[in-house]
Amino acid sequence: MSTTTPSSPGASGTSYDARFRVWRGDVKGGDLEDFTVEVNEGEVVLDIIHRLQATQTPDLAVRWNCKAGKCGSCSAEINGRPRLMCMTRMSVFDREDVITVTPLRAFPVVRDLVTDVGFNYTKAREVPAFVPPADLGPGEYRMQQADVDRSQEFRKCIECFLCQDTCHVVRDHEENKAAFAGPRFLMRVAELDMHPLDAAAESGLDRKQTAQDEHGLGYCNITKCCSEVCPEGIKITDNALIPLKERAVDRKYDPLVWLGNKIRRRGER
Amino acid sequence: MATGTEPHLKSGQDSGGVRAATRAAISAAHLRTDRWWLAPAATAAGLFAFIVYSTWRAFANADYYAAPYVSPFYSPCLAENCEPMRSGPNWEIFGSWWGLSPALLILIFPLGFRLTCYYYRKAYYRGFWASPPACAVAEPHKKYSGETRFPLILQNIHRYFFYAAVPVAGILTYDTVLSFRDEHYEWGHMGLGTLVFLVNIVLIWAYTLSCHSCRHIVGGKLKHFSKHPVRYRMWQWVGKLNARHMLLAWASLVSVALADFYVYLIASGVFDDPRLF
Amino acid sequence: MSQVERQQWDVVVVGAGGAGLRAAIEAREQGARTAVICKSLFGKAHTVMAEGGIAASMGNVNSGDNWQVHFRDTLRGGKFLNQWRMAELHAREAPDRVWELETWGALFDRTADGRISQRNFGGHEYPRLAHVGDRTGLELIRTLQQKIVALQQEDEREFGDYEARLKVFQECTVTRVLKDGERVSGTFCYDRESGRFFVLEAPGVVLATGGIGKSFKVTSNSWEYTGDGHALALLAGAPLLNMEFVQFHPTGMVWPPSVKGILVTESVRGDGGVLRNSEGKRFMFDYVPDVFKEKYAQSEDEGDRWYEDPDNNRRPPELLPRDEVARAINSEVKAGRGSPHGGVFLDVSTRMPAEVIRRRLPSMYHQFKELADVDITAEAMEVGPTCHYVMGGIAVESDTAAARRVPGLYAAGEVAGGMHGSNRLGGNSLSDLLVFGRRAGLHAARYASGLTGAGARPVIDDVQVDTAAAEALRPFSAEGPEDGSTPENPYTLHQELQQTMNDLVGIIRREGEMERALEKLAELRVRARRAGVEGHRQFNPGWHLALDLRNMLLVSECVARAALERTESRGGHTREDHPGMNRDWRRVNLLCQLTDPSGGLAATDPVRGQIDLVRVTTEPIRPDLLALFEKEELVKYLAEEELYE
């Protein structure tokens, strides 16, 4: 505000020049380019990328929106680690460090730091939506907080797709993309399966079964990189993927359940 | 207009991965500048050391009993060739035809439990198999099918090993109780070994109960916690332990080896068990 | 030139935030083939930034609540300038819109009896905001996004194509609404990824593009908020309403500089946070205006008791409407009682246990920890006003959300004006998106389906397409001024624009400063014609910004002109030279329209500008609605003659 500016102490005088390497190019090719750029106190990597745009490379392509860690747009890899640029403070680096910024390396590159994240939208469509219970109208839903806690944790997801990017199942094996939904969308399956009023089962859809049969849960080898990179701190592996695996076990590898199903099916015949 | 974009699928022989043709052209397999290799290397070293030690001890078939202490590697002792332990856990289920170390009979269960454990899976997939070695570090394998096929699909039987691990932990608890005797089987005594056993059994139980399968069985499988308040409380409690599953996995691994080693030292006569009372 | 790709749709929704997605869902459910077009990725819209909740008088926490009370609060908050019929529809329909979200999978926080929990918020008499922690906007956008996917899955089962009846064009920008005579005929768009142009032919266009915050330097808004919908409507011949009313949210972060403006949710105060100056004083008690004197606590004790016992105590003045709190903070800082970085202190650390803070305000805890290295459970936050929301917007019909003067054009959400009067209450935005998003989609679909028979549908005019394409390409061939120097840098122009609006048309306004702002805007407009970009059309942010500048300059001029015209202080418009609210101004709406009605940009005369202002008198408030208020209260707002009508 113009009216509220007593000079902020330390805002100036602490700036320095940092060395950046930013990947520039497109699907035809590209390379890491070196830049020297000013850094001020309290800034994040996205600020530096913006300064590059405004002063050196006006056409540097970067995706961003809220700059507050809420929208999940500015995903990139900083010094080789998948992160949100807006939540990576410059103060975590030494001033002498060369900071390398590249686009997400699990997805096809579009230009510079922008990748084609269409894979994720394709996978989102493959997860059957919430099935509302037939006997409840709007306003009649009653759910206890204890029953919605688990799914609420998963709904904190901002869809930055860092988990999808870091997951070696698709990052290192393009051919698995067809069969594997990725941590974000397996977590979506878990969210719906734990939703206290989801009526998928009543409509003949067994999410526990389809998690493995349709969405590739078995590809997950629970090495936890998705949880490590999650900027929302969601315990994707411990709270979504492993419980989902256990639920799949209930369906497919529990001999008692298996026997029960066999008998029931025979009875129906 | 990426909502309509299909994943870029490529023919199988392409090197795929981060160097695939559609990805940003970066020749390095990874650009991490931190010591990412430290964790998998330490994990591999730790697990390797345990494997070497436990293999030696399991096959040794000696120095596993020094009254009142029985090595957790040999408890319960299920063969005729076991050393006699008065009111201890030896049942001669396997007759004289069994000539190998009796440890092999029982170690199957804790070994299976730990081998299929969700934490150890992460540890050895990363540490031994480099799949992946660390996050965003390319793995060396051309193909990957995860736990979708034999043999790794067998990881799904983890919960049955959990069921088996519970009675084993129960027997080790019994051993710990027996360790309140002295070497002449008199009750009301306690040695340094009792203390070692106590620490070990607490860690064994904490590790066993913090298991992801246990968390699922006690409550995780429920859709409505609010209708099962007791199981909900148990699930919350196991959840708290479960958050430390990795820590407990290592702590109990070390403590079980130490307990065995302590028995070995006493049994082989290196020193006498210091008496506390 | 006119070889651009064309597609036929029934309804095109511009913007994929809460209003846009709700409109698209409704239009598709009415049977219209619907296209959604948005600048960001699907699911990233600015709606995700909304934290506090959705205001709806469900009465789950206090059964005394009902739509009439909500309506009353909304009008009080807006200082009676609201388009009252919109406020009425909003208050009546909001609960249905929230409940319907649950049937699409939303998971709100719950009350003990399993219903949707509701929280207190500034200006709301009862706990009214349905919420999910402090990430309600994210829940809203995700629920709507997933509902769209659910509809697409239905279409896939029926037609074998997910996008048969509902398609999202993400990362695409609309630069012009095309017309056939008076009527809308479609939109001219480009794909940001490839830079390719395309035209969506449609008789119904819903604008749901959000606000204008990116014209200001300190703002809580994301880059998308460049006033696109406002400008598109103006250029298509639809007027904007009351653009002088810009809400400065009282609590934005003030430090570090790179995050200045990022929002600190009002729930912090709703849940017990208090404002203090550098002397440790809860200064809000000194700033309760006369119109609110009876409704707010007079002492700290009473204010503190209210959180536990709201029926027998009055609420603390920290929960006054946002305009009041923002002005108070501004005054404290000006008087030298501010915090070290030029804000005031917002403290929850001494009011709640750390555990409770982390549970109820998780993303605030996170935000301060990560961005400012401040642990809000241990120390106070520093906060100051930030540009947050524009109450002004496209003038619409209350019931149909139809833009005035342009058949086929609809507007909903922040881009539409009128609903919030001179100041919006917290929580009324998300409900506004849902209520009027649905109405816009409904009426756009009905309008489109009513155009049957040969020749009934509007036709695309090739000349307009060519003109739009040429306009969009101009930054690539921009020439420097006569002396042959380089073209203008769009980033520099943008920064100058933001500084101008921030300094000269900000929270406190003065006549001379606004005149200077208009001169500066004229200068920037001339320079913006020469804005040039490097590189090619594929995902080129410099080019995108150069195109967005046109829109920001248009809406900035609207704000400045209207603010200069309105010689009173009311809600989000504070004139230092006219400090009081003037009852005679209550009935006056200011409409902005393009000086050159042909839709071309009148940059030829830089001083006169591109915008004409028209005063219109509002329709009298319906008597049964007026009867909801005490006579003594109405006297403070309404002009003499209105009272005796």
Question: Cβ A68–C49 below 8 Å, yes or no?
Answer: yes
Q: Express each pLDDT in C392-409 by its tens digit.
A: 999 999 999 999 999 999
The one-letter amino acid at C125: E
| Residue B271 Cα distances to B66, B121, B265, B266, B275, angstroms | 12, 38, 7, 6, 12
Question: Cβ A63–C142 below 8 Å, yes or no?
Answer: no
Q: Express each pLDDT in C512-552 by its tens digit.
A: 999 999 999 999 998 998 888 988 999 999 999 999 999 99
Same domain, A141 and A213: yes
Question: Cβ B3–C42 below 8 Å, yes or no?
Answer: yes
Per-residue tens of pLDDT for chain A, all 269 residues: 333 333 344 444 589 999 999 999 999 999 999 999 999 988 999 999 999 999 999 999 999 998 888 999 999 999 999 999 999 999 999 999 999 999 999 999 999 999 999 999 999 999 999 999 999 999 999 999 999 999 999 999 999 999 999 999 999 999 999 999 999 999 999 999 999 999 999 999 999 999 999 999 999 999 999 999 999 999 999 999 999 999 999 988 877 777 777 777 666 54
Terminal-residue alpha carbon distance, chain C: 59
What are the residues facing C409 on neighbouring strands?
A: C205
Same domain, A247 and A226: yes
The count of structural domains within chain A is 2
- Write the residue in C99, C149, C343 that is nearest to A129 by C-beta: C149
Q: What per-residue confidence (pLDDT) applies to C602?
A: 44
Confidence of residue C479 (pLDDT cuts 50, 70, 90): low
Contact C623, C598 (CB under 8 A): no
Residue A9 lies in a domain: no
Question: Cβ A159–C43 below 8 Å, yes or no?
Answer: yes
Residues C610-639, mean pLDDT to the nearest whole number: 93
Residue A2 lies in a domain: no
- Domain span at residue A65? 16-114
| Distance (Å) from the alpha carbon of B4 to chain C's nearest alpha carbon | 8
Q: What's chain C's average pLDDT?
A: 93
What are the residues facing B180 on neighbouring strands?
A: none
Instruction: Please count the residue pairs, one from chain A and one from chain C, whose beta carbons lie less than 8 angstroms apart.
Output: 216
| Closest C-alpha among C470, C447, C253 to residue C363 | C253
| Distance (Å) from the alpha carbon of C409 to chain A's nearest alpha carbon | 27
DSSP secondary structure letter of residue B216: I
pLDDT > 90: what percent of chain A?
A: 86
Q: Which of A114, A141, A156 is the last residue of a domain?
A: A114
Give backbone dihedrals phi and psi of A22, rounded to 5 degrees, phi first.
Answer: -120, 135
Active-site position among C269, C276, C424, C509: C269
The complex's ipTM? 0.92
The one-letter amino acid at B127: G
Q: How are the residues of chain A apportioned to helix, strand and coil, as percentages rounded to the nearest 5? A: 40, 15, 45
Residue A136 lies in a domain: yes
- Write the residue in A61, A89, A116 that is nearest to C540 by C-beta: A61
Same domain, A105 and A165: no
Question: What is the β-pairing status of strands A81-84 and A98-102?
Answer: unpaired
Comparing alpha-carbon positions, the chain A residue that sits nearest to B220 is: A243
Residues C313-339, mean pLDDT to the nearest whole number: 92
* Chain B residues whose beta carbon lies within 8 Å of the beta carbon of residue A241: none
Q: Six-digit token pair at C187?
A: 């939109």
Distance separating alpha carbons of residues A125 and A116, to the nearest angstrom: 16
All domains of chain C, ordered by start, with CATH?
Answer: 5-246+389-449 (3.50.50.60), 249-387 (3.90.700.10)
Comparing alpha-carbon positions, the chain A residue that sits nearest to B125 is: A223
Distance separating alpha carbons of residues A252 and A248, to the nearest angstrom: 6
* Chain C residues whose beta carbon lies within 8 Å of the beta carbon of residue B3: 42, 163, 167-170
| Distance (Å) from the alpha carbon of A46 to chain C's nearest alpha carbon | 10
With H, G, I as helix, E, B as strand and everything else as coil, classify residue C332. helix
* Chain A residues whose beta carbon lies within 8 Å of the beta carbon of residue C536: 59
Question: Rg for chain B (alpha carbons), in Å?
Answer: 23
**C487 preceded by a cis bond (ω within 30 of 0):** no
Give CB contacts under 8 A, 24+ apart, made by B141-147: B141/A172, B142/B15, B142/B16, B143/A173, B144/A168, B144/A169, B144/A172, B144/A173, B144/A176, B144/A219, B145/A219, B146/A169, B146/A218, B146/A219, B146/A220, B146/A221, B147/A218, B147/A219, B147/A220, B147/A221
Residue A137 lies in a domain: yes
DSSP secondary structure letter of residue C392: -
C249 carries an active-site annotation: yes
Q: Express each pLDDT in C431-472 by its tens digit.
A: 999 999 999 999 999 999 999 888 899 999 999 999 999 999
Task: Output the domain CATH number for residue A149.
Answer: 1.10.1060.10
C269 carries an active-site annotation: yes
Q: Six-digit token pair at B90?
A: 């030896």
Which chains sit next to B, with 3 or more Cβ pairs under 8 A?
A, C
| Distance (Å) from the alpha carbon of C168 to chain B's nearest alpha carbon | 7
Confidence of residue C3 (pLDDT cuts 50, 70, 90): confident
Q: Which of A92, A114, A136 is the last residue of a domain?
A: A114
Same domain, A176 and A233: yes
| Closest C-alpha among C377, C373, C374 to residue C359 | C377
Residue the block writes with tokens 């609404």: C177
Active-site position among C76, C128, C165, C249: C249
Q: Six-digit token pair at B67?
A: 């009254």
* Chain B residues whose beta carbon lies within 8 Å of the beta carbon of residue C163: 3-4
Same domain, A233 and A194: yes
- Write the residue in A221, A242, A252 that is nearest to B212 by C-beta: A242
- CB contact A174 to B (< 8 Å): yes
Distance separating alpha carbons of residues B268 and B65, to the nearest angstrom: 9
* Chain B residues whose beta carbon lies within 8 Å of the beta carbon of residue C42: 3
Confidence of residue C487 (pLDDT cuts 50, 70, 90): confident
Comparing alpha-carbon positions, the chain B residue that sits nearest to A248 is: B156
- CB contact B157 to A (< 8 Å): yes
Distance separating alpha carbons of residues A242 and C250, to the nearest angstrom: 44
- Write the residue in C257, C533, C543 that is nearest to A42 by C-beta: C257
Q: What per-residue confidence (pLDDT) applies to C83?
A: 97
Distance separating alpha carbons of residues C101 and C255, to the nearest angstrom: 36
Question: Cβ C223–A65 below 8 Å, yes or no?
Answer: yes
Contact C514, C504 (CB under 8 A): yes
Name the helix (H) or strand (E) containing A62: none
> Is residue B62 scored above 90 in pLDDT?
yes
Comparing alpha-carbon positions, the chain B residue that sits nearest to A114 is: B24
* Chain C residues whose beta carbon lies within 8 Å of the beta carbon of residue B2: 41, 170-171, 193
- CB contact A175 to B (< 8 Å): yes
Residue the block writes with tokens 């003065």: C510
Same domain, A97 and A207: no
Cα B237 to the chain's mean position, in Å? Answer: 21
Residue A62 lies in a domain: yes
Q: What per-residue confidence (pLDDT) applies to B7?
A: 44
Q: What per-residue confidence (pLDDT) applies to C359?
A: 84
- Write the residue in A23, A122, A176 that is nearest to B6 by C-beta: A122
Question: Cβ B25–A29 below 8 Å, yes or no?
Answer: yes
Q: Which positions 103-122 of A are in contact with B (Cβ < 8 Å)?
A: 103, 105-109, 115-119, 121-122
* Chain C residues whose beta carbon lies within 8 Å of the beta carbon of residue A66: 46, 48-49, 222
Question: Cβ C169–B1 below 8 Å, yes or no?
Answer: yes
Confidence of residue C254 (pLDDT cuts 50, 70, 90): very high
Distance separating alpha carbons of residues A18 and C571, to the nearest angstrom: 45
Distance separating alpha carbons of residues C423 and A196, to the nearest angstrom: 39
Comparing alpha-carbon positions, the chain C residue that sits nearest to B4 is: C163
Residue A3 lies in a domain: no
| Distance (Å) from the alpha carbon of B147 to chain C's nearest alpha carbon | 29
pLDDT > 70: what percent of chain C?
A: 97
Residue A245 lies in a domain: yes
**C127 preceded by a cis bond (ω within 30 of 0):** no
Comparing alpha-carbon positions, the chain C residue that sits nearest to B2 is: C170
| Distance (Å) from the alpha carbon of B3 to chain A's nearest alpha carbon | 6
Distance separating alpha carbons of residues C425 and C121, to the nearest angstrom: 8
Residue the block writes with tokens 């306009």: C471
The pTM score is 0.93
Taking residue B60's Cβ as centre, other Cβ atoms within 10 Å add up to: 15
* Chain B residues whose beta carbon lies within 8 Å of the beta carbon of residue A215: none
| Closest C-alpha among C201, C99, C161, C145 to residue C459 | C201
Same domain, A35 and A137: no
The one-letter amino acid at A63: R
> Is residue C33 scored above 90 in pLDDT?
yes
* Chain B residues whose beta carbon lies within 8 Å of the beta carbon of residue C170: 1-3
Same domain, A139 and A46: no
Distance separating alpha carbons of residues C432 and C54, to the nearest angstrom: 9
Q: Write down the H helix ranges in C418-540.
A: 428-449, 462-473, 490-504, 511-528
| Chain B interface test: which of A28, A122, A149, A171 (most B C-beta within 10 Å) | A171
Same domain, A94 and A174: no
Q: Express each pLDDT in B77-110 by its tens digit.
A: 999 999 888 888 888 899 889 989 999 999 999 9
Conformational region of residue B16, where left means phi above 0, alpha means psi within -120 to 50, and beta covers everything else:
left
Q: Which of A64, A90, A114 is the last residue of a domain?
A: A114
Residue A250 lies in a domain: yes
* Chain B residues whose beta carbon lies within 8 Å of the beta carbon of residue C169: 1, 3
Confidence of residue B11 (pLDDT cuts 50, 70, 90): very low
Same domain, A261 and A128: yes
Same domain, A100 and A136: no
Q: What per-residue confidence (pLDDT) applies to C483?
A: 58
* Chain B residues whose beta carbon lies within 8 Å of the beta carbon of residue A169: 144, 146
Question: Cβ A225–B22 below 8 Å, yes or no?
Answer: no
Q: Is the dihedral of CA C591, C597, C601, C607 positive or negative?
A: negative
What are the residues facing A101 on neighbouring strands?
A: A22, A78
Question: Cβ C340–A2 below 8 Å, yes or no?
Answer: no
Same domain, A134 and A250: yes
pLDDT > 90: what percent of chain B?
A: 85
> Is residue C219 scored above 60 in pLDDT?
yes
> Is residue B4 scored above 80 in pLDDT?
no
| Distance (Å) from the alpha carbon of A199 to chain C's nearest alpha carbon | 11
| Chain B interface test: which of C169, C189, C191, C196 (most B C-beta within 10 Å) | C169
Distance separating alpha carbons of residues C365 and C358, to the nearest angstrom: 6
